[in-house]
Structure 1
Amino acid sequence: MDLNRRTALGLAAAVMTPVSQTVAPPDPAETIRLWPGRAPGGDRVTVTPRVVERSTDPAFRDRFAQYTTEPLLTVLRPARPNGASLLLIPGGGYKWAVVDKEGLDCARVFAAAGVTCFVLRYRLPGDGWAAGPDAPLQDAQRALRLVRARAAVDGLDPARVAVLGASAGGHLAGMLTARADATYAAVDAADTVPFRPDLSILLYPVATMADPFVHAGSRRELLGETPSAEAIERHSLERMDWRDAPPVFLLHAIDDGAVPVENSLQLLSALRAAGVPAEAHLFEEGGHGFGVRLIEGRPAAVWPQLALAWAARRGWITQV
């Protein structure tokens, strides 16, 4: 199915908005707490949550959330929803989770195409959670289940729930997509529905935990200074069992100096070997962490259109 003209025009306008506006748009008012009580395994957690603003330009915001203790979803509902939903998992090297660049900014672009978006603020592995490196994955699994469990109430299709992860968020989204084992004990009825997405979009993902292509900062935050060979194996996406996983879309800039393009190339080989439908787009330039705002005038600026066209061919979205 092709995107129609109205959808294409709305998408183009959304991509341009962050660079043409003079005041940053307000945050969506709707949020959803992931857990009915405290997040699991927090008895030894003593951190104090904070959100830091890095931008000095009133036209856009550039925040990151650190020391999160109450993970949540921020909901961005489109004017003309088409039934599809998207869980967005921003990056931050597992040291923090960005709020805007790979979260709300990207969500606004997909919402312009009729997609209901849920931006995840997740717990971090170094903050003392009992689950350690699985703490972020607990939040991702719970988030996907909540989106799917709420679908009927929200007027959404529970069989059209995708995930989009960027950088370290791409690693987390990849873990969510590949792993079939639940990482926490069920807490309510939402945990009876599947947690794997129907489609997975990975932007410049941190895929491998192994040298020489690892993003060292993400590995250190996730697995510690001297991780075991078993831990590296278990958390490297290209070494996981991808059989029966949903289709995957990969995007990477060849000149990425932070997360080498080999992360996506190795993962693509693993997906092909496992028979997972996959599409990959490599761009000569773009660097790392560009989201939708930092690539104006560059070839990679078309990535949202490419991702939506791919998703439409797979039946995730229809004409608006």
Structure 2
Amino acid sequence: MTTTIAPSRRALLGSLATLGALAAASPKASAGPTAIHYGGPSIPLWPGAAPGAPATLPKRRIEQRSQSAAFDDRWLYGVATPTIEVRRPAYQDGSAVILVPGGGYGFLSIDNEGEEQANWLTQRGVTCFILYYRLPGEGWGDRGLVPLQDMQRAIRLVRHRAGEFGIDPARVAVLGFSAGGHLAGSLATRFAEKTYAPRDAADALSARPDLAGLIYPVITLSETFVHAGSRDNLLGPGATAAAARAGSVEQRVGADTPPTFLTAASDDGLVPIQNSLAMYQALLAKARPCEFHGFDQGGHGFGARLPQTVPAHAWPDLFHAFGRRHGVFKG
């Protein structure tokens, strides 16, 4: 386990106006928050209505959290039509990453844990798909499965359209943050679970990711170090102990769980690092390929916004190197 020093979450999220002055990182890593305004296709996940659609669909709303005109830090609510937002590199190495923003299953942090992640990945030749998944508390039926339905459908759809996007369907990774880490981890451990009725030919394809990256993730829904907000948003208040245990990623690790990369900070006051440790221990117990980097300080939600002077800024390099060793990334 690596011990390093990074700024606190309060410094990162409470004083966003100062982040534009962060020191520049390497050309292959984020230089801190920047205005990223490149676009790409927005592909609906489902033909027709998504499973369990309510009579009145949620209304899309974006909350701008940035205090600086230099960059965006948007939170998305009201996902009526889940999509994958395509971000293609100038040079493609043939790999793909589905990015899964966090937000406690109550919103999606689409810049810090979406666009900014796609920025450094596309610079390395990786085709990115930012997942705008449904929020379970917005009226959907079978709420505890709603995000996993979208996650499974997303990876199948990416594989189904691999030729269109110039990617290798056997080199598709998932990278999730906070509650998005719980969702990415759920995919990595529950990819074979039937969560929805097949809609088309894409649903005949495997939902197993070839690599999983879990960044300051929510893992457990049942232990004392649970992030209660994520649990309640996903399962609903008053969920049974059995439902919470069934939704805990560390309980689902098996012999077919893909190679998994974890990183978190020991001073994370929102999602305790014990979540990552529990997942790491579960992976080791099943002899699954895994790597864990724990940083001494950093809090929660640091994304790819750290300056080169803070060692934790290197996690994207470490993740990419892990993916190269396991044959997903090239170069």
TM exceeding 0.5: yes
Give the stretch that moved more between structures: 115-124 or 235-244: 235-244
1:65 aligns with 2:76: yes
Is 1:212 matched up with 2:224? Answer: yes
Q: Report the TM-score when normalising by structure 1.
A: 0.92
SS at match of 1:183: coil
Structure 2 residue aligned with 1:169, among 177, 180, 184? 180
Secondary structure of 2:137's aligned partner? helix
- 1:304 is aligned, of 316, 321, 324, to 316
Does 1 or 2 have the higher relative contact order (CA < 8 Å, sep 6+)?
Answer: 2
Deviation, structure 1 residue 233: 0.8
Which residue of 1 is the match for residue 279 of structure 2?
267
1:38 to 42, 49, 59: 49
1:13 is matched with which residue?
27
Of the structure 1 ranges 291-300 and 260-269, higher mean CA displacement relative to structure 2 is found in: 291-300
Q: Rate the CA distance shift 1:32–1:46 in 2: closer, same or farther, 3 A.
A: closer
Counterpart selection for 1:94 from 71, 87, 105: 105
Distance 2:308 2:79 in 1: 32
Aligned-residue Cα RMSD (Å) equals: 1.4
Give unmatched runs, 5+ long, in structure 2: 1-24
How far apart in 1 are the matches of 2:48 and 2:57? 17
Q: Percent identity?
A: 48
Question: Contact between 1:141 and 1:182, CA under 8 Å: does it hold in 2?
Answer: no
Return the alpha-carbon distance in structure 2 between the equivalents of residues 218 and 59 of structure 1: 30
* Cα deviation 1:129-181 (Å, max 9, x = unaligned): 11211101111111011111111222110000000000000000000110121
Matches of residues 138-153 of structure 1 in structure 2 within 5 Å?
138-153=149-164
C-alpha distance in 1, partners of 2:54/2:230?
Answer: 24
How many equivalent pairs are there?
306
Is 1:318 the counterpart of 2:310 in the alignment?
no
CA distance in 2, matches of 1:125, 1:148: 25
Moved more, 78-87 or 204-213: 204-213
The alpha carbon displacement at 1:25 in A equals 2.3
Conservation of the 8 A alpha-carbon contact between 1:45 and 1:127: no
Within the alignment, does 1:103 sit opposite 2:111 as a pair? no
What residue ranges of structure 1 are gaps of 5+ in the alignment?
Answer: 1-10
Find the partner of 1:245 among 249, 254, 257.
257
Are 1:222 and 2:234 matched, yes or no?
Answer: yes
Deviation string 1:108-140 (CA, Å, 9 cap, x unpaired) is 111111000000001011111112111011111
Q: SS where residue 26 of structure 2 aligns?
A: helix
Instruction: Note if contact 2:32-2:307 (Cα within 8 Å) is conserved in structure 1.
Output: no
Contact 2:72 2:111 in 1 (8 A): yes
1:166–1:16 distance in 2 versus 1, CA, 3 Å: closer
Give how far 1:14 is off. Answer: 4.7
**CA pair 61-228 structure 1, distance change in 2 beyond 3 A:** same
In 2: Cα distance, 1:133 partner to 1:100 partner: 25
Secondary structure of the residue that 2:149 maps to in structure 1?
A: helix
Are the structure 2 counterparts of residues 16 and 158 from structure 1 closer, same or farther at C-alpha, using a change threshold of 3 Å?
closer
The residue type paired with residue 195 of structure 1 is: A
CA contact (8 A) 1:44 1:129 kept: no
SS in 2 for 1:190: helix
State whether residues 285 and 299 of structure 1, in contact with CA within 8 Å, keep that contact through their aligned partners in structure 2.
Answer: no
Query: Take 2:234 and 2:227, find their aligned partners in 1: how far apart are those partners?
Result: 11
Q: Which amino acid aligns with 1:13?
A: P
**What is the identity, as a one-letter code, of the residue corresponding to 1:94?**
Y
Cα contact 2:57–2:80 (8 A) shared by 1 = no
Relative to structure 1, the CA distance from residue 148 to residue 270 in structure 2 (aligned partners, 3 Å threshold; closer, same or farther) is same
- Say whether the 8 Å CA contact 2:188–2:257 is kept in structure 1: yes
Residue 242 of structure 1: how far off its partner (Å): 2.1
Inter-partner Cα distance in structure 2 for 1:300 and 1:147:
31
